[in-house]
Amino acid sequence: MKALIAVLPGDGIGPEVVAEAVRCLEAVGRRFGHAFRFEEAPVGAVAMDATGLPLPPATLALAKSAEAVLFGAIGTPRYSDPSLKVRPELAILQLRQELGLYANLRPVICYASVLDASPLKPELLAGVDIMVIRELTGGIYFGEKTRTETSASDLCVYTVPEVERIARLGARLARARRKRLTSVDKANVLETSRLWRSVVTRIMAAEFPDVALDHMYIDAATMHLLRRPSDFDVVITENMFGDILTDEASMLPGSLGLCPSASLGAETRGLYEPIHGSAPDIAGRGIANPYATILSAALLLRHSLGLEREALALEAAVVAALDAGVRTADLKPKGAPASTRSAGEAVLARL
């Protein structure tokens, strides 16, 4: 197949890890006979330096014209002042809105060969394979905001259709996995959570009776995620809760560098990025972990291009590299840590 992939490396370690993911996608194309075309554009702080805007019109136009977007990371200490009206992070929020990306998929898989890198006991992590789905475009992050000298407010709003589409997506994914869906809310306190719970319950009973549903308060979920993570299959939750819960879940595999993500909408176009940040303290040193970005490229193959066999091959190559002991510094290597480039080479060799 032919496909245009927009490449937005961004800031910090973004260009380093994205370069390895692009090399892997090129190798997948050669192996399976696909013609992937890559076009790169600036985003985040590097775009602000050049144009004053974190998401220049040309970058947005490229993202809208592509079959998928491969994204690196954004942010730099130079633009970290919270009082700034324009910051690099606005780019990702605008991309989600402009591309209609309402669901963030974050797989959390504990790979057997690197369980010792996790802060949790290995016996708690065996077989952990969780798909967390975070609602992306509603809730308190996008609600009306006010601030005076003496008070501030952030309005949290959800509509029935917003909750319905997340419930359906989660249920479809759960149906293809272990047929268990956990919906996380705070329905004992928040009205938006009561709406969330009632809509999810209705959708599941009417359309997915074969998928087991349980509800869990966010505070209980954060505890159980550490106490019995293997019990979770697919988890759905609202924007802010999902932001917090997925960062906690990322520690189960042992490093943010093993956690990919996919932001999806009603169409096949999606945005794919590692969940780690720009890590400016290690940028340019060639020591960043590229595995999360490479795994994000596998999600790109699966969800935007419909290439399941190719996605599985790329994921298997990452697992094989880990099994062979190719670990970057964040994964507590037993010997000399692998560089960004050598970790990418290890995946390529196994493709």
pLDDT per residue rounded down to tens, the chain (351 residues): 999 999 999 999 999 999 999 999 999 999 999 999 999 999 999 999 999 999 999 999 999 999 999 999 999 999 888 778 889 999 998 999 999 999 999 999 999 999 999 999 999 999 999 999 999 999 998 899 999 999 999 999 999 999 999 999 999 999 999 999 999 999 999 999 999 999 999 999 999 999 999 999 999 999 999 999 999 999 999 999 999 999 899 999 999 999 999 999 999 999 999 999 999 999 999 999 999 999 999 999 999 999 999 999 999 999 999 999 999 999 999 899 999 999 999 999 999
Same domain, 218 and 165: yes
Location of structure tokens 């096949």: 268
What domain count does the chain have? 2
Same domain, 25 and 6: yes
Q: Is 141 a catalytic residue?
A: yes
> What is the spatial distance between Cα 122 and Cα 114, in angstroms, rounded to a whole number?
9
In a domain, 114, yes or no: no
Instruction: Say what the pLDDT of residue 44 is.
Output: 96
In a domain, 237, yes or no: yes
Instruction: Say what the pLDDT of residue 133 is.
Output: 98
Same domain, 136 and 64: no
From 251, 276, 300, the end of a domain falls on 251
Domain containing residue 169: CATH number: 3.40.50.2300
Please list the alpha-helical segments (H only) found in the chain: 14-32, 45-51, 57-65, 90-99, 122-125, 160-175, 191-207, 218-227, 239-249, 291-303, 308-323, 340-350
Instruction: Say what the pLDDT of residue 84 is.
Output: 83
Among residues 49, 129, 141, 154, which one is catalytic? 141
Instruction: Say what the pLDDT of residue 53 is.
Output: 96
Same domain, 262 and 347: yes
**What residue numbers bound the domain in which 142 lies?**
129-251
In a domain, 13, yes or no: yes
Same domain, 140 and 232: yes
In a domain, 21, yes or no: yes
From 251, 283, 302, the end of a domain falls on 251
Domain containing residue 335: CATH number: 3.40.718.10
Residue 295's contacts (CB-CB under 8 Å, 6 or more residues apart) are 107, 258, 259, 260, 274, 314, 315, 318
Among residues 129, 154, 243, 332, which one is catalytic? 243
Q: How far apart are the first and last CA of the chain?
A: 19
Q: Is 186 a catalytic residue?
A: yes
Same domain, 280 and 333: yes
Q: CA dist 162 to 67, 157, 236, Å? A: 24, 10, 12
Same domain, 247 and 149: yes
In a domain, 91, yes or no: yes
Q: How many CB atoms lie within 10 A of CB 319?
A: 18
**What predicted TM-score, i.e. pTM, was given to this entire model?**
0.94
In a domain, 19, yes or no: yes
Same domain, 74 and 22: yes
In a domain, 309, yes or no: yes
Same domain, 247 and 260: no
Location of structure tokens 């990322």: 250
Candidates 245, 236, 263; CA nearest to 164 is 236
Q: Is 243 a catalytic residue?
A: yes
Same domain, 95 and 190: no
Among residues 214, 219, 231, 323, which one is catalytic? 219
From 251, 276, 308, the end of a domain falls on 251
Among residues 186, 233, 291, 330, which one is catalytic? 186
Q: Is 247 a catalytic residue?
A: yes
22: its two tokens: 């692009």
In a domain, 122, yes or no: no
Residue 58's contacts (CB-CB under 8 Å, 6 or more residues apart) are 41
